[in-house]
Every structure is written in structure tokens, then in C-alpha cells.
Amino acid sequence: MRRQVGTTNYHLTQPTATTAGARDGFLGWTPAIIIFYIVVFSPLFITRGQEEPATSASSNTLNQLFWLSLAGVVLISSRDKLHKFLDIIKQPTVILLCIYLALALASIMWSPVPAIAFRRTVLQIILVICIIIPVAAAEDHQRQIDRIFWVFAATIWVNLLAVVLLPTSRLGHEGIYGHKNMFGLIVAFAFLFMIYGTFRFKGTLRFFALTSVVICILELIVSKSKTSLGLSILIPAISLSLIALNYFIGFNIVFILFFFLFFIVSLYLFVTEVFEVPFSEISQAVFGDPTFTGRTLIWDFVTDVINRAPFLGQGFGSFWGIGDNSIVIKEAPGFIAELLQAHNGYLDVLVELGVVGLIIVLLLICSALFLLGRLPASHRLNLWLMVSAMLLALVHNFMESSLFRGYALTWILLLLVIAFAGASKTGKKSRL
């Protein structure tokens, strides 16, 4: 099957499971192993009770050993696929990732804590190696996605046991995690994969996936994570609408999304300026708190710091959690001095690497969405899953920070989507 899009021909290749899957070897399992480590193994055995284990400043020896070992195995496993590396580094998404990481390395020169900036940059380089290479070098992406589905399926069933056996907290059930919002976020991502499984499989497996969808809804309810529950309802519908418009009117997803964002921003400016309704009143009406649960106070402080170095920022990983001499500890008012993030991923990019860093991130996101939007209609289920996961990650970053931060699940899944999007362009073949 072939679909003509612009000047590029995208061919649907269907490698058999026994050939392509066998040739992928360990690389075919790597994405699933990473997700399992983050959502099951680490919460149960390493970071139990921590609210932000993936973004805290402290280093864990076992975490370091896991990522270094995984990167080593990935590089060794990909030695027979060296002929693909030229195609990999030519991907626009990979080029933009490399530019961002190069800027992060360069920021060591103006960082107030160069050692911390270097260490955190190296972690991101390792993450990129562990995710980009296995996806880009693999021949059977369908199996990689299916294995992630099974990891999330196991995750929600493990958490079902936690819901039944463990007491709930005052704010909501935490599952096997340290906070109910983390529980809600992971289930929200799992919910997308369970919907995917409902349409991907048949017979008994479809019934299992559908049952898992119901369990996800129940877990979202008991977690009392209103944001995750709301996004779980909205994101799948929005993604479906974007894909439908993409195929029926011929506009790429990235342009359609840009139009919707322009409309939303224009509507917000119209309401706030013409009717003189401040954000605090909107926040009070929607969230019951004029400060958006304290976020506007954080954003005011971070914005002030951004204005001091607007173009290149304070340095990668050089603002939050860097010690007693940091701007946060010295100047932040009240509870903000105890935080490890701005609760907005885009503001954290700005405060660390300035406008230059944010432009690179936005180009990376647009590039990935553009490539996904050029996939043929035969891949619409995978396309829906990828767009949904990306939108959930992007919207979540308006409230929490995960872009280029540790090994947070939101960032890992966003990086996986970027990898799959770039891989669909490799060799001018759509292999999703």
C-alpha cells in the first residue's frame, strides 16, 4: 500500500513477527523494559514513597547502574545495525535533540553549578541513546508498541491489587506510588494504551483490553486525580478529531493543532481583555483556587528570573535543587523555596536554556507531529496512540515539569513518540 504525501513516498512494510522481531533482539524489548522499570520496578523497589523520584536532585546508585548498563547493552546490541546510523542521525527529530543536548553541554560554561549541569546533561544523553537507537534501528515497531501495551496492562493490574489491599490517603489513593497525582498520570497513559489494545487485538485479548479500560477508569476515580481523569476523556477525542481532519481535509496535524491553539489563545485574550476577567477569576471558577493551586505564584517568581537571562537561561539543570546558594533558596518566597520544578515544563526550559532552548523544543515537537501526520491511513490506530500520548504529555507540561527532566514517565513517553515519528521517516519508509 502506498500513499503519496508531498514529494515523499511512504511505503507500508509488514515484516513478519518471526523475522523482524527476531532480528531486533534486545532492541525490540528495550522500550518496554524502560517503561516497566519506571512504572513498576522503581516504585516498588527503589523510590517507594517519593513524590518526585524521577526529577529530584539526589542520585541513586541503582538508577545510575540501570541506565548506564542499559545504554551499554543497547550500543552492543546495535553493533550489527551500524549501517542504519547515518539514516538515524539524519532524522530531523534526532538533529534537534542533538542541538538541544549540545546547548545543554555548552551551558556548563555559564552555569552556577557546572558539575550538576554536566551530570544532568549526561543523564539526558544516556536516555536519548536508550530510546532513540532501539526505536530507530528496530524493524518491527508494532511489536515494540505491543510490548509497551502489556507493560501498562500489568501496571494497572498491579495497582488494582494496591487499591484493594492498601489504605487510601486523605487526598486520594496513591496506588504503588508516592502521590495520587503520579498514580493518576500513569493510569491516564495506561488508559490510552488499553484503548489501543481494544482495537488492536481480537477475541479474548480484546476482552482483556476492554476490561483493563474499565479498571483504568475506576483507578482514576479512586485516585481523585481530577486533572488526569479530565485529560483521559478529552485527549482521545481531540486526537481522533485531529486525525480525522488530517485525512479528510488534507492538512497536516501540526497545522491543525496550531490553528486550534491560536483560537484558544485568542479566545482567552478576548475574555481577559475585553471583559476584563483576570486569570485568577478563571482559575477560581474552574479549579476553586485563584492561584491555580499556587502555580501562579511560582510562575511569577520564575518569570522574574527568566527576565534576567532571557536568551540562554541559567544553564541546563542549574536552577532547581542545586544547593543552598541557588537563586531559589536565596530569593524564592514561602513554599517555592522547597520546590524542585516550576510546575510548567515550558517555563523550566526557559529558565534553564532561555528562548533559544524553548525554540528548539517547539521545533522538535512540531517536527515529530509533522512526521506523524504524514503516516498513511493504514497506520491510523498507531497514529492515534502516538498523537494522544504526545498531547497528554504536552498538556501535562503546562501543569507539571518533565521536559528533559530526569527519567520522568511523561518525558520518556514523549521521547518514545518522537523516536517513533523520526523512525517513520528513516529510509523513506513508514515502519510503524
Whether the per-residue pLDDT at 34 is higher than 80: the answer is yes
Which residue type occupies 190? A
* pLDDT at 405 exceeding the cut of 70: yes
Q: How far is it, in rounded angstroms, from Cα 292 to Cα 278?
A: 12
How far from chain centre, in Å, is Cα 183? 15
Share of the chain above pLDDT 70, in %: 90
Find where cell 514517565 sits.
409
The closest of 181, 88, 171 to 399, measured between CA atoms, is 181
pLDDT confidence band for 59 (50 / 70 / 90): very low
Report the C-alpha gap between 250 and 243 in whole angstroms: 10
Question: Does pTM surpass 0.85?
Answer: yes
Contacts of 269 (CB under 8 A, 6+ apart): none
Rounded-to-integer distance, Cα 397 and Cα 162, Å: 27
What is the crossing angle of helices 409-423 and 345-372, to 10°? Answer: 30
Per-residue pLDDT at 13: 39
- pLDDT score at 20: 58
Element (H, E) at 12: strand 8-12
Of 81 and 40, the structure prediction assigns the larger pLDDT to: 40
Question: Which helix (H) or strand (E) covers residue 238, if one does?
Answer: helix 226-249
Q: Is the pLDDT of residue 127 over 60?
A: yes
Whether the pLDDT of residue 198 is over 70: the answer is yes
Find the farthest-apart pair of alpha carbons in the chain and give their distance in angstroms, rounded.
Answer: 63
